[in-house]
Structure 1
Amino acid sequence: MEMPESQRSGNPRGIPLVRLRDNFLNLSSFANEETRKRHLFAYLLWLLGNLFPNSHGDVVVPGLIYIAENMVDEPLPEQPKYSFGSAMLSHTYKGLCDATQKTSFAQKAPLLCVAYEFLQLWSWEYLPVGRPRIVQPIYPYDFGEGASATMATRWTKARKRWSPDIAKNCYPMYHQQFEILDEAEVTWNPWTQDQLKMVFDARHFTPGMLTDSAFWLTRCNLLFLWCVEPYNPERVMRQFGLYQEIPPPFPRRIDEETHKLTNMGRGWSLYDWREENSEWVHKWTNEALADIVRQLRPYDGSTDQAYKQWYCMNTRASLASQPATIPTHLTQEEQARRHVELHAAYYRDHLIITCNFFRSIIS
């Protein structure tokens, strides 16, 4: 299939997702083996393009083509050849990092290039802020032969309902809820046996969910094409149900040159990043399961108080009360009478910082 003519100068930015969807959506039951392989190739490209979006938002990065091609043309390996979980984390970390530093020249707004569905489901699993209420769970989690349930199944398949208090401009409300969030309201470790039993009821959860759990405590850097991101599980041990050292270990970093690698200028050349990052690929292949955090002690709630003491000694105290002149939690009726700007929470933060500044001068 020929690529569509680009309205931009130079080579195409990538394969348009809409063309993959429109031209390969239906597969005839009489299709030959070659046609089936091409449809599988197109589906994998569409899937990878949505898992690893780029700043353009509507195309598949050319560097993903050889991965989909190899998955289709090569025989199925006995062991998985690709680690998509670590790749998604690397891509997400890079996207979150870039979003705090870069802006769009056209809209002057931060660019967040991550898989939004993944980030949304993670948030619902761990945090109560903005989480919908499940009014009709899906039991049992069985969708036919060969299909398996995942942790996301209960959110994507169940019937959900959001709080009627959530108005159109809900950012100030969410901001306030994060400000008063208590540690007891956070689901620190969704992978405990009790949590899985609660989610999957009497049906046993899919064993494949924990197949790669040995990688969760690796010290190796995470990789995705040009993205090389440090991974520091020893700083968030409570999420694994393990003992947290206080103070938390200093984060491991990578050199600035490696961290700032981008795909800019590679264009339509199908650049193979495996060669560029061969050192990191070799480390992951040979050391990911050997270089792990060694911790056998389970989580101990007594570390919470030690962490808070350490935190207060190493940070500045701030005002916890909300200035009465800047409302950030309005009902629908109140919003109808008074429009709430999305930046209201920013002004509230700015006011708190100003108050802290004058308080420090006075004291």
Structure 2
Amino acid sequence: MTYLLGLPIVDDVVGPRVVPASWKDDLEERFAPVQCVAVAGPINPHPRAAGPSKTWLLQFTPTQLDADADEYSVTRSLEAYLLWLFGYIMFNNTHGNSVDRILLPYAREIADAEDDLPPYSWGSAVLAATYRGLCNGCSKTDGEAIFSGCPLLLQLWSYERIARSWAHAQVRHAYPEFVSELDMLTPEDVIWEPYTPEAVARRAPLGLSPHCSANAGMWLTTAVLVYDIAVEVVEEWHAVLSRLAHHDAAVVGAMGRCR
């Protein structure tokens, strides 16, 4: 997690928060004084949605702020960006064009912080949300089912560890075709140790950001991961990954047969 996204895996959990029913009115009132450029026109009212609308938040990007915008406007622009980041990148959901409203107090708390940022285990939260999204996605039969969590994390993880590439493959029925391709992977198709000193030196000759090795002492910890009401127990995941890391081909074969 820290290698791929640079997110911390220690500190406080990103747990459930009580969000008042008036959250939409509170949001509009908080953003009403933001000083935007004249060509942007008046701020649009927030539409009916399960959470903060992603398109509504785009009214407050830095390019939409007046050149002489005050500090309050800049702070609200940061809050809007954080909500967009949470909803589009870190915690995709099934609400469509809106962010989970439980993230409202977290974004505001970070944006309003004057000195030290509030310490939260964002890496653990993203992993918990992605595990839950994978479990839900694999158990649904609805043709409109959506993968929630952090697709970027899954993409980066796969890119670092699967030696085969389908970047230019064009197929008519993508889902069954790629499931079949993944089922046929062999131990030789997997990069078991993508971050050896030699591999890191070859791909990053100037070295990695210190964020990549932060919390290294916690990497093999077995714990409960929490995001909102999602609680994921990962002891089983660590047991499987530990055996895979030792090139246990028998385990890989057994997993391939579990279809």
What TM-score does the superposition give when structure 2 sets the normalisation length?
0.70
2:83 counterpart SS class:
helix
Instruction: Decide whether the 8 Å contact of 1:130 with 1:174 is kept in 2.
Output: no
Cα shift readout 1:93-134 (whole Å, capped 9, x = no counterpart): 111112233455xxx5433222222222222221134454xx
Matched residue, 1:54:
93
> Using the alignment, how far apart are the partners of 2:135 and 2:192 within structure 1?
23
Alpha-carbon distance change, 128 to 175 in structure 1, aligned in 2, over 3 angstroms: farther
Cα shift readout 1:256-302 (whole Å, capped 9, x = no counterpart): xxxxxxxxxxxxxxxxxxxxxxxxxxxxxxxxxxxxxxxxxxx4x5x
Matched residue, 2:156:
121
Bigger radius of gyration: 1
2:104 counterpart SS class:
helix
Residue 4 of structure 2 is aligned to residue 4 of structure 1: no
- After superposition, residues 234-253 of structure 1 pair within 5 angstroms as 234-237=239-242
> Using the alignment, how far apart are the partners of 2:136 and 2:61 within structure 1?
33
> Using the alignment, how far apart are the partners of 2:256 and 2:56 within structure 1?
53
> Using the alignment, how far apart are the partners of 2:154 and 2:171 within structure 1?
22
Alpha-carbon distance change, 131 to 187 in structure 1, aligned in 2, over 3 angstroms: farther
Total equivalences in the alignment? 213
Instruction: Decide whether the 8 Å contact of 2:53 with 2:98 is kept in 1.
Output: yes
Matched residue, 2:221:
218
> Using the alignment, how far apart are the partners of 1:191 and 1:19 within structure 2?
40
Matched residue, 2:232:
229
| Percent identity (aligned) | 28
Cα shift readout 1:287-346 (whole Å, capped 9, x = no counterpart): xxxxxxxxxxxx4x5xx26657xx76xx9979xxxxxxxxxxxxxxxxxxxxxxxxxxxx
2:219 counterpart SS class:
helix
Over 6 Å off, 4+ runs: 315-318
Matched residue, 1:188:
192
Alpha-carbon distance change, 131 to 210 in structure 1, aligned in 2, over 3 angstroms: farther
Instruction: Decide whether the 8 Å contact of 1:124 with 1:131 is kept in 2.
Output: no
> Using the alignment, how far apart are the partners of 2:249 and 2:76 within structure 1?
57
Which consecutive residues of structure 1, in runs of 5 or more, have no partner in the other structure?
7-11, 133-161, 242-298, 319-348, 350-363
Which consecutive residues of structure 2, in runs of 5 or more, have no partner in the other structure?
1-27, 30-44
Instruction: Decide whether the 8 Å contact of 1:126 with 1:187 is kept in 2.
Output: yes
Looking at both structures, which has the greater relative contact order when contacts are Cα pairs under 8 Å and sequence separation is at least 6? 2
Matched residue, 1:177:
181
Alpha-carbon distance change, 65 to 103 in structure 1, aligned in 2, over 3 angstroms: farther
More helix by share: 2
> Using the alignment, how far apart are the partners of 2:109 and 2:256 within structure 1?
52
Q: Which amino acid aligns with 2:155?
A: Q
1:100 counterpart SS class:
helix
Matched residue, 2:121:
83
Q: Which amino acid aligns with 1:206?
A: S
Query: CA offset at residue 189 of structure 1?
Result: 2.7
> Using the alignment, how far apart are the partners of 1:316 and 1:56 within structure 2?
33
Matched residue, 1:64:
103
Instruction: Decide whether the 8 Å contact of 2:183 with 2:256 is kept in 1.
Output: no
Query: CA offset at residue 64 of structure 1?
Result: 0.1
Q: Out of 198, 204, 208, which is 2:207 matched to?
A: 204
> RMSD of the alignment, in Å?
3.0
Q: Which amino acid aligns with 1:67?
A: Y
